[in-house]
A and B are shown apart, each in its own frame.
Chain A
């Protein structure tokens, strides 16, 4: 993933003066699953990054394979935006899966429409913790298998059994590089949120 590096932030691209409301969706998943690519594909601005200091556990920390275990480290949060109407802008937050990222997860989850869980068929088990965390935060979610070239493509029923999401959770395939595919995935998620909100879940 292209998450490393200190780049000069682009000049601020301000929102149109007519925009009055914002909405946000979290894009979550283990390191290297395509969160940054997804955000970049959907964003109308060059995605931005903020770095957070976190107290890190040595093991199971995402994006940090190249760095030795240490007590304090930084994780990057990538995000982008897409203006949907004259009044409304959607933010997409590519949220790292670190166990110690809890406070920021809670902050990001507050007021969010829901979460898109990206998964990779070659390492489905890496998604278990992420799905648990999304459920604990009470977020509605959809699961999208990122369609990596050469990755196995088990039937959806098998994937559902392996990932065991909440009943009625949408599960599909997505190509994080393809705008139409990303957009369809987000529509599926929001439709799911609308439906479950309607039944008062």
Chain B
């Protein structure tokens, strides 16, 4: 089931084309950033992979890593493309917070309280 060398090469080319050769987006996005689509409809102006990402996010909010998991695209590629789609107004972060900032005391406490309240049988 593993793709052979030929397939792997073409995936690398595809990644390069999708990201336009950039390793990172101008707007840095990290894997746990939550995004949702801002547009409805079929976005025919986008290439198929971008369109697939926007359409996936039309269903509701997901983390960028989940977008990668559901589309089968490498996370490093999706980080760049999602950054572009946010810049282009197709996607919006679900939160206005700076995603790359270190978690503050309030968030840490909220996580701690949340973990303490979790039901282990769930």
Contact = CB atoms under 8 A, between A and B. Distances in A.
Contact of B100 (A81, A90, A110, A194): A110
B62 interface: yes
B114 interface: yes
11 contacts: A14-B60, A23-B107, A23-B111, A50-B69, A52-B74, A53-B12, A90-B115, A107-B30, A111-B32, A179-B120, A198-B105
B109 A49 contact: no
A93 B65 contact: yes
Contacts, number: 149
Interface in B43-99: 56, 59-63, 65-66, 68-70, 72-76, 78-79, 94-95, 97, 99
Interface of A: 5-6, 9, 12, 14-15, 17, 19-24, 44, 48-53, 72, 77, 79, 81-82, 84-85, 88-91, 93, 103-104, 107-108, 110-113, 179-180, 183, 186-187, 190-191, 193-194, 197-198
B63 A49 contact: no
Contacts of B117: 84
Interface in B103-122: 103, 105, 107-118, 120-122
B107 A5 contact: no
A48 B74 contact: no
A103 B111 CA distance: 26
Contact of B70 (A15, A48, A183): A48
Q: Interface on chain A toward B: helix, strand, loop, or mixed SS?
A: mixed
A49 B76 contact: no
A190 B74 contact: no
A23 B2 CA distance: 33
A24 B31 CA distance: 9
A50 B75 contact: yes
Given A12-B66, A81-B66, A84-B114, 6 more contacts: A12-B70, A79-B31, A90-B115, A91-B31, A107-B31, A190-B115
